[in-house]
Amino acid sequence: KEYQNLLYEFDGGIGIITINRPKALNALNGATMRELNELLDVIAQDPSVKVVIITGSGEKAFVAGADITEMQSMSAIEGRNWGKLGQAVFDKLENLPQPVIAAVNGFALGGGCELAMACDIRIASDKAKFGQPEVTLGITPGFAGTQRLPRLVGKGRAKELLFTGDMIDAAEAYRIGLVNKVVPPEELMAAAKAMAQKIMSRAPMAVQLCKAAVNEGMDMDLQSAVAYEAEVFGLCFATADQKEGMAAFVEKRKANFTGK
Ligand code: HXC
- pLDDT per residue rounded down to tens, the chain (260 residues): 899 999 999 999 999 999 999 999 999 999 999 999 999 999 999 999 999 999 999 999 999 999 999 999 999 999 999 999 999 999 999 999 999 999 999 999 999 999 999 999 999 999 999 999 999 999 999 999 999 999 999 999 999 999 999 999 999 999 999 999 999 999 999 999 999 999 999 999 999 999 999 999 999 999 999 999 999 999 999 999 999 999 999 999 999 999 99
Indicate yes or no: pTM above 0.90: yes
Architecture of domain 204-250: Orthogonal Bundle (1.10)
Q: Atom 4 of ligand 1 has which residue's CA nearest to it?
A: 67
Q: Give start-end residues of each CATH 1.10.12.10 domain in the chain.
A: 204-250
Which ligand 1 atom sits closest to the C-alpha of 136?
40
Residues carrying an active site annotation: 114, 134
CB of 109 shorter than 6 A to ligand 1:
yes
What spacing in Å lies between the alpha carbon of 207 and ligand 1's midpoint? 36
Q: Give start-end residues of each CATH 3.90.226.10 domain in the chain.
A: 6-200
Return the CATH superfamily for domain 6-200. 2-enoyl-CoA Hydratase; Chain A, domain 1 (3.90.226.10)
CB of 72 shorter than 6 A to ligand 1:
no
Residues 6+ apart with CB under 8 A from 39: 3, 6, 8, 17
The alpha-carbon radius of gyration of the chain (Å, integer) is 19
